[in-house]
Chain A
C-alpha cells in the first residue's frame, strides 16, 4: 500500500511518542489501592434491563459524531495537527483529480491514504465506538444492559452494579460479570491522576502511546474532554474533513464517505455521559484485543508513569483487575 504524503504525514504523527518520550523521566506511580476500590471517583454503573422495561429517562444512543468526538479527544495535539495537514492535502488532491487538466503528483489514489490512516487508528476508533454506546446486548439476545452514571437512570427493579468494582464478593454473580463484559470499555478502564508541572506532557505521552503498535492502550481521555470541551485542534480537523467531503458527492468514494462523520460538529454535552472525572484525572481504556491481559495493561501504565518527569506525580485512582 502506498499511503502517499498524507499517510506519511500521519504516520510521522503517530511516531511522535518516540520524540516526546526522552523528555519524560522518573516519578513512580503511586498505588492508592491495589485492591481496586476506586478512590474518590464516582463509578459508572451497568444495569441488566428486564425485558420490556423502560428506563426513567430515555437513553440517547450516540451516533457516529459521538464516536468521532471520542476518537479526536483521544489524539494528541501533534497527531491532530498532522491529521489536519493530511486532510488539507487530501482535499487538494481530490480537487486536482476532479479537474481533467490537473495532475496529482502524489503516489497512489487518495483512497489508499484514507485506508492507511483508518487502519492505524482502528483500535482508537474501535474503543471509541464501544465506549460511546449506552446499551449493549449479548448475541443470543438473552442479556441487555444499560450503562449510565447512576442507578437512578435504570428501570425500576433492574439489577444495577458499579462498573469500577468494589470488591470480590460479587464475582460469583454470573449475570453481573456477563454485564461487565458487555460494558468492557468502562469495566476494564483505568483512572489515574496526573499532577505537577509536566502533567500536559504526560497526558500527551499517554495519548500518543495509544497509537503505537505494541500498546494495550486504546484511549486516554482527560476530564476536560469528558466534560465536553472540544480542543481547537480537533475543531480544525473537523473543518478539514468537511473540506474533503464537500468536494465529492456521497457514494463516489467509500473511503472519503467514511470521513463524513469526522466532519460533523462536536457533539453537545458530555462526551461519555456515564463518566465524570476531576481535574487532572485521566480515563485510560484498553484495547478490546487486550481484555484478557488487563494486568499487563496496568503495568504498561506503570511504565509510562515511571518515564514522567520528576515534577510530575501520577497516582492510581482506579487500577483495573481482570474481568471475571
Chain B
C-alpha cells in the first residue's frame, strides 16, 4: 500500500490485536478468544488536516485492510498464505509459508505462531524474510524489504523479546516486548485490553501509539496527534 497512511494503520491493526485494564485503573473483562473476528469500519486522522475511512476484515485465515483504492490482504490456510498489496501503483505479492507452532493470541483470531518464510514474487522479487514467532519472542532475518513499498526498511536481523509478562486479552502476547533492528528499537506493551508502543530511530514508525479495544470498538492515538477509531459490525 503506497500512501504514508500505512504505518499508522498497520500499527492500528496491531493495536486491534492487543488488549484490559483501563489506564485509570478500572478493570475490564478480558475479551473472549477470537472475539475480534469480523468486519470493522475504520475512521482515522493521520493528521489534523486529513481524515480517511476504511474497512478491516479479521478472520482466522484472512486479514484484509482496505483504505480507498488501497488494499492489504493476507489470505490462505494451513502452511501457505499470500500477502498482497494493491494500489494505484500496482500489485505487490509476498508468498508466505509457515511451520505452525502453538501461540495463544487470545482475542486476535489470526493464527500466527510458528516459523515463517516470506518470499517476494513478481514486482516483489528479491524480497525475503525468515521469521519465528512464539510465546517468548520474535526473530526475523531479512535480506531485503522494499521500503518504498512497505514503508518499513528491514535489512538484517529483527529481534523481539518479551521481557515481562502481563495479563492480557491477547494470550501469549501479553506483556512488555522489546524489538530492535539495527539502530531502530521499539517497546510494546500488551496489557489487559490496552496496547502501547514507542519506537525510536525507526523511520516512519518513529513515535508512540496507544490503543484500547473492546469487542465492539477500538480506538487510539499517536504521539503526533493522529487518531483512529474502529467499530466491529455485528454478526447476523
Question: A residues bordering B, Cβ < 8 Å?
Answer: 118-123, 125-126, 129-130, 137-140, 172, 174, 177-178, 181, 184, 258, 287-293, 295-296, 299, 322-324
In the assembled complex, 8 residue pairs joining A and B whose CB atoms fall closer than 8 Å, in A order, are A121-B48, A139-B66, A172-B234, A177-B234, A288-B219, A289-B221, A289-B227, A293-B219
Closest to A254 in B: B49
Excluding A288-B45, A289-B229, A293-B212, 19 further A-B contacts by CB distance (< 8 Å) are A118-B49, A119-B225, A121-B48, A121-B225, A126-B51, A172-B234, A178-B41, A181-B229, A181-B231, A258-B49, A288-B219, A289-B219, A291-B219, A292-B213, A293-B22, A293-B219, A295-B22, A322-B214, A323-B217
Q: Taking chain B's interface residues, is the majority helix, strand, or loop, or is none over half, making it mixed?
A: strand
Any chain A CB within 8 A of the CB of B165? no
Q: From the candidates B22, B216, B228, B231, name the one contacting A289 in the complex (CB within 8 A).
A: B228
What residues on A are CB-neighbors of B30 within 8 Å?
none
Instruction: Please indicate which of the listed interface residues B217, B233, B234 has the most CB atoms of chain A within 10 Å of its own CB.
Output: B217
Known: A121-B48, A287-B227, A322-B214. A139 touches B42 (CB 8 A): yes
Known: A139-B67, A292-B212, A292-B229. A129 touches B26 (CB 8 A): no
Q: From the candidates A122, A138, A291, A324, name the one contacting B225 in the complex (CB within 8 A).
A: A122
Q: From the candidates B54, B212, B213, B227, name the one contacting A288 in the complex (CB within 8 A).
A: B227
- With the chains together, A178 CA to B67 CA distance in Å? 18
Asked if A296 contacts B24 (CB within 8 A), the reply is yes
Asked if B233 contacts A122 (CB within 8 A), the reply is no
Asked if B42 contacts A292 (CB within 8 A), the reply is no
Asked if B48 contacts A292 (CB within 8 A), the reply is no
Closest to A181 in B: B231
B window 174-220: CB within 8 A of A: 212-214, 216-220
Q: From the candidates A122, A290, A295, A324, name the one contacting B226 in the complex (CB within 8 A).
A: A122
- With the chains together, A121 CA to B227 CA distance in Å? 12
What residues on A are CB-neighbors of B47 within 8 Å?
122
What residues on B are CB-neighbors of A184 within 8 Å?
43, 229
The tally of residues in B whose CB lies under 8 Å from a CB in A reads 36
Any chain A CB within 8 A of the CB of B23? yes
What residues on B are CB-neighbors of A137 within 8 Å?
53
What residues on A are CB-neighbors of B226 within 8 Å?
122
CB distance from A264 to the nearest CB of B (A): 16
Asked if B41 contacts A296 (CB within 8 A), the reply is no
Asked if A295 contacts B26 (CB within 8 A), the reply is yes
Asked if A125 contacts B54 (CB within 8 A), the reply is no
Asked if A139 contacts B41 (CB within 8 A), the reply is yes
Asked if A296 contacts B220 (CB within 8 A), the reply is no
Chain B 1-45 interface 0/1 with A at a Cβ cutoff of 8 Å (1 = within): 000000000000000000000111010000000000000011101
Q: From the candidates A122, A292, A323, name the one contacting B224 in the complex (CB within 8 A).
A: A122
Instruction: Please indicate which of the listed interface residues A123, A289, A296, A324 has the most CB atoms of chain B within 10 Å of its own CB.
Output: A289
Q: From the candidates A125, A130, A323, name the one contacting B216 in the complex (CB within 8 A).
A: A323
- With the chains together, A295 CA to B26 CA distance in Å? 10
Asked if B233 contacts A126 (CB within 8 A), the reply is no
- With the chains together, A323 CA to B216 CA distance in Å? 8
Any chain A CB within 8 A of the CB of B100? no
Nearest 6 pairs between A and B by C-beta?
A122-B225, A289-B227, A289-B221, A139-B53, A125-B48, A122-B48
CB distance from A165 to the nearest CB of B (A): 15
- With the chains together, A41 CA to B208 CA distance in Å? 39
Chain B 39-71 interface 0/1 with A at a Cβ cutoff of 8 Å (1 = within): 001110101110101110000000000111000
Closest to B67 in A: A139
Q: From the candidates A126, A139, A181, A323, name the one contacting B48 in the complex (CB within 8 A).
A: A126
- With the chains together, A195 CA to B184 CA distance in Å? 53
Asked if B228 contacts A139 (CB within 8 A), the reply is no
Asked if B227 contacts A126 (CB within 8 A), the reply is yes
Asked if B213 contacts A287 (CB within 8 A), the reply is no
Instruction: Please indicate which of the listed interface residues A123, A178, A184, A292 has the most CB atoms of chain B within 10 Å of its own CB.
Output: A292
Closest to A125 in B: B48
Asked if B55 contacts A139 (CB within 8 A), the reply is yes
What residues on A are CB-neighbors of B66 within 8 Å?
139
CB distance from B77 to the nearest CB of A (A): 25
What residues on B are CB-neighbors of A121 within 8 Å?
48, 225
